[in-house]
Structure 1
């Protein structure tokens, strides 16, 4: 039996008013290697971290590439207890069509809960995962966020300037 390939971000973002570019690069081993390959600063990236809810739901946290995640704030935004927040193994995002190194906030899993860090909206043109480790999506942050109308926005990111000295 052949299973159809899930619709990935490039197809989802192909809305008439979305303006994005798919940028190819060597398979991602680290965000800094992707930045070096594309010639962009880490501050112009959106990283997406994948978690699993107690009901095996996919929870995606999208925040600036140079930020740290505030786990408690993510759990509150997703409506779950902090203790119920579990990092996803590679298998859970794979069921949504994402390969390791290519996790993206735009998911083929329509039930996925997506939470953007509130600072993402002000980043301008950004790069994020494309579901594959060998390419990234270049897009305006506002357009990326608009592609997921059900996404929440919350203070889930701790930026370097926010950290205590």
Structure 2
């Protein structure tokens, strides 16, 4: 299984990574990373009843609307649940390091409508101790997400 970093390299996307202490919460991020909050993307993983992964990325400080995520993914809210530890292992990702970049199928990736215009962003690498810096437009071009108001 290719990691998000390997996928970015193979696609020729310009990016950089840096390592840090493991992070899982926003408090960890504030403590460990000296990064502008308005450039941080959080990615949450869900599993639809049909077995499909739904990954949603949005600015860190926006709340996630679960019903809006379900609608963007084309599933009923009652048929969508947060991904558990087994699901994350299947994705090859750690809590605190979830990335919108994966080849795992079936999947739907959803980005908040503001993401394409965010410029340089920081997102998960799949690991909880490494962060990716990448241009949002390049990330969107690679991932080809559904764009929706999910916050």
TM-score when normalising by structure 2: 0.92
The yes-or-no answer on 1:25 pairing with 2:20 is yes
Structure 2: gaps of 5 or more residues? none
1:152 aligns with 2:130: no
**Contact (CA 8 Å) 1:22, 1:138: kept in 2 or not?**
yes
Q: Does 2:113 match 1:118?
A: yes
Matches within 5 A, 1:59-70: 59-70=54-65
Q: CA RMSD in A?
A: 1.3
Runs of 4+ in 1 over 6 A off after TM superposition: none
2:52 — aligned with what?
57
Task: State the partner residue of 1:162.
Answer: none
In 2, the alpha carbon distance for the partners of 1:72 and 1:134 equals 30
The structure number with the bigger radius of gyration is: 1
* Residues 58, 93 of structure 1: 8 Å contact kept: no
CA distance in 2, matches of 1:138, 1:11: 14
Shift of 1:59: 0.7
Q: Contact 1:28–1:101 at 8 Å: present in 2 too?
A: yes
Distance 1:137 1:32 in 2: 19
SS of equivalent residue, structure 2 residue 21: coil
- Matched position secondary structure for 1:67: coil
- Which structure shows the higher helix fraction? 2
SS at 2:54's partner residue? strand
Aligned-pair distance for 1:88?
Answer: 0.9
Q: Is the 8 A contact 2:17 2:133 kept in 1?
A: yes
Deviation at 1:35, TM superposition (A): 4.1
